[in-house]
Structure 1
Amino acid sequence: MSFAARLAETAALTEAHLLAAIAAYPPGTIRDAMAYAARGGKRLRGFLVLESARLHGLSDAQALDAAAAIEAVHAYSLVHDDLPCMDDDDLRRGQPTVHVKWDEATAVLAGDALQTLAYELLSRASAAPDDAARVALIGALAQAAGARGMVQGQALDIAAEAAASPLTLEQITELQAGKTGALIGWAACAGARMVGADPAPLAAYAAALGLAFQIADDILDIEGSTEKTGKRLRKDEAAGKATFVSLLGLDGARDRARVLVGQAEAALSPYGDAADSLRQAARFVIARDS
């Protein structure tokens, strides 16, 4: 199976599992807003969960709770990130953002509900082979999504908007390692944690992949199109915010992304040919147009 076909397959499996979990909630506006926010996207994080699980002898079915959980957290983060008090966006995945389609209170509550759904999914007996693995997954996600990871990265991003001078390359790297990289890291290491294996090679892979992903996003913000990305572009440039492109230039950013992809691929050497789909994922993140 080609990488594109495998990505599409895992996206469909993960989305169906996530929407089925949402459909089990009581009917109403919050459930509708959760499902609306959960639809669409590349599902790269879910793909990473399923592929890391496959590397460790687990089937897609055995890893779908974890794949849906990380996509639920990612969806929540986007809903909140789009709010007027955060990045103030009105377009996401080519559709009106949740607070635009409904209202700010609905967006906050739908995001909250998506976040808690992730932990509900991971608490299921089907989420991991044993209790210790489930606790490991839950604890690691709490750290990746919270004030040690994604939330800290978002806080640094907000603080940067009010800073007297643009962030340095080192500061941008730290910010994005939390805001974007933490959830990618959890996803890539999920399979190892599910079977009690050493996640270090996959953590190194994910660290490089996450930064390459963000550099590609910064490049798309300059060169991409709203039609393909499904969101408003060039906001950072208009606001005078530092990005990998503003600090390195377009050519420098591309070079840096290619180096990171090489590092990600090298980190997978312990897995041999079995990790080829993850290597292809690293190449994909800097070649995508959305």
Structure 2
Amino acid sequence: MHVADIAQTAHYMLCQTGLMNWLSDLEIFATLVAAVVHDFEHTGTTNNFHVMSGSDTALLYNDRAVLENHHISAAFRLIREEDCNILQNLSRDEFREFRTLVIDMVLATDMSFHFQQLKNMRSLLSLAEPTVDKSKAASLVLHCCDISHPAKRWDLHHRWTMSLLDEFFLQGDKERELGLPFSPLCDRNNTLVAESQIGFIEFIVEPSMAVCADMLECVLGPLAAAPGSTLARTPAVSNDDTQGNEGNAKFKIRKPWIACLSDNKKIWKEQATKDAEARAKQEEESNNPPPPTEE
């Protein structure tokens, strides 16, 4: 279900922002395939769990990007089978380019690379004349898609949050059985759900979507300004920012996720307040038990 969601989100980003006009057919194909295989044969546990428990997969990949390396390797082994080979008509050079792109994109979904990935893109975009590498651009888009559920309507975001927490708590149960320390958000008895989601939105998702939008506007601006371009008239583009001045105005894409992130964070903050009041009441009652009743 998650993979279908991320593949659809990647498709939306390609089409609705106009990114597909900047990429070649092979690069678009690689982006969609990377979205489909980015969690192939996922174990429902994190890289940290594999490393701490000393799993065979962690041993195979030397504790580094354990799951992401497995997703890629297992996917390409499957594609190599005759009845699954969707790449059989690619030339040798096309195959090498495709494989390199998919590897780069899937490895970039490892959260341990998150902050460095954003830092590198920010630094690049701050240059007077930034030149964005297509592989890095597609990798950032896929990474943002992978963490995008808080950027969608509340009903979708809340459903994904609960599903993810179910998975985390099951991992926490395994960690308890193995005598391992709890990974973040995996202790079902002590995880503050609302607070965790507020932090996830503020420190992870909002900055990621902001950098991704800046990157998209950087690479698509020249295309929109080209004579005869229809890019500035697509539904996902803010015409107020692109019309006039004969195309010299800064190209802007629409950012529907901003409202969703704001709305979802507001709901979580309200929930966090209610949870805090409930905990305070419970603590007060436990510290002041009612007097015993006479029979």
Same fold per superposition (TM over 0.5): no
Greater share of residues in helix: 1
TM-score w.r.t. length of structure 1: 0.40
Higher gyration radius (CA)? 2
